[in-house]
Amino acid sequence: MNTPALSLRHNHFLNGSSALVSGIRLPRSSSSPFRVRMSLQENGPSVAVVGVTGAVGQEFLSVLSDRNFPYRSLKLLASKRSAGKSMKFEERDYTVEELTEDSFDGIDIALFSAGGSISKKFGPLAAQKGTIVVDNSSAFRMDENVPLVIPEVNPEAMAHVKLGSGKGALIANPNCSTIICLMAVTPLHRRAKVKRMVVSTYQAASGAGAAAMEELVQQTREVLEGKEPTCNIFNQQYAFNLFSHNAPVQPNGYNEEEMKLVKETRKIWSDKDVKVTATCIRVPVMRAHAESVNLQFENPLDENTARDILKNAPGIVVVDDRASNRFPTPLEVSNKDDVAVGRVRRDVSQDGDYGLDIFVCGDQIRKGAALNAIQIAEMLL
């Protein structure tokens, strides 16, 4: 798989036996020398994770570790209910602290995933104290003064934000379905300019949080055992079923999730005229979203050229084997960083090479949330 373009690695290698030196972990590898985990560095930024006990908060920690993100200190923040819990990260013990107005003193970067109301209250407070906030909620996405960033797509949107300048800032992480879609579509848009995009999403339980994932497992057991399913999160049976996305429906008939795709695409591409329509569906899959995307271009783009463009795009892997009928699946991209694209074909309803259909899958918790946020943080280093 391709490595995302904006990866920052801090890997070093030693010969010798496995050891713990100055708090640095040296894991043993049977096939390679020893890798030193260099994440804890005196010259790294101070980092806070807000909402650390949630699904995305936990994934923040996983991605920070996987990518050896350098930090000099780490603060784990959550609600009063979770305060006092003990967590181990990179072989160190941490105590979860209650999120308060004083939590951001001395914090350089704060990764937020605690819901819109928490972000609206504490995000600006943190920024006022000089913290750069990367927020995973919808609270600031459509604020014209807040950059909405996918690092592989529009890194220039946050070029004015500088770590160490003493000035705090808010940076918004786009919605998961928008990230996964635009990772695949933007390279094609750059070549042929998208005029109109029709998206149908098949969204996993993880998009509704850890409790929804747990309920899907519970319901599956209950239905298989002939019991009535427990319906606390979605108020209807989720196991062995699918339904229109549970976001509130707007007066225009679109739900909030669908309008996020419309509005966020226009902002990220800086193109208020691009036509976007979406239908978002919740499916009984654990943690990766799938999307069917139909594209209409201003300029011709044939399917072979499109496939080559995607093969060379950062953060994309092409899975498009017609002979064996093998294409992207949510299961195969779960816990992976790359977005998978397949079913690349000319839209036969349009004349010439002005239309394409593609099928996209991406891990909602990783590239759809935590990985994208940490790639944003990496660009600040």
For 188-201, b/e burial (b = at least 16 CB within 10 A) is bbeebebbebbbeb
Does residue 289 have an active-site annotation? yes
**HEC profile of the chain:** CCCCCCCCCCEEEECCCCCEECCEECCCCCCCCEEEECCECCCCCEEEEECCCCHHHHHHHHHHHHCCCCECEEEEEECCCCCCCEEEECCEEEECEECCCCCCCCCCEEEECCCHHHHHHHHHHHHHCCCEEEECCCCCCCCCCCCECCCCCCHHHHCCCCCCCCCCEEEECCCHHHHHHHHHHHHHHHHHCEEEEEEEEEECHHHHCHHHHHHHHHHHHHHHCCCCCCCCCCCCCCCCCCEECCCCECCCCCEHHHHHHHHHHHHHHCCCCCEEEEEEEECCCCCEEEEEEEEEECCCCCHHHHHHHHHCCCCEEECCECCCCECCCHHHHCCCCCEEEEEEEECCCCCCCCEEEEEEEEECCHHHHHHHHHHHHHHHC
Does residue 231 have an active-site annotation? no
Is the distance from CB of 113 to CB of 56 less than 8 angstroms?
Answer: yes
Catalytically annotated residue among 176, 181, 280, 361: 176
Catalytically annotated residue among 181, 245, 280, 289: 289
> Which residue matches tokens 């300019």?
193
Which residues belong to the active site? 176, 289
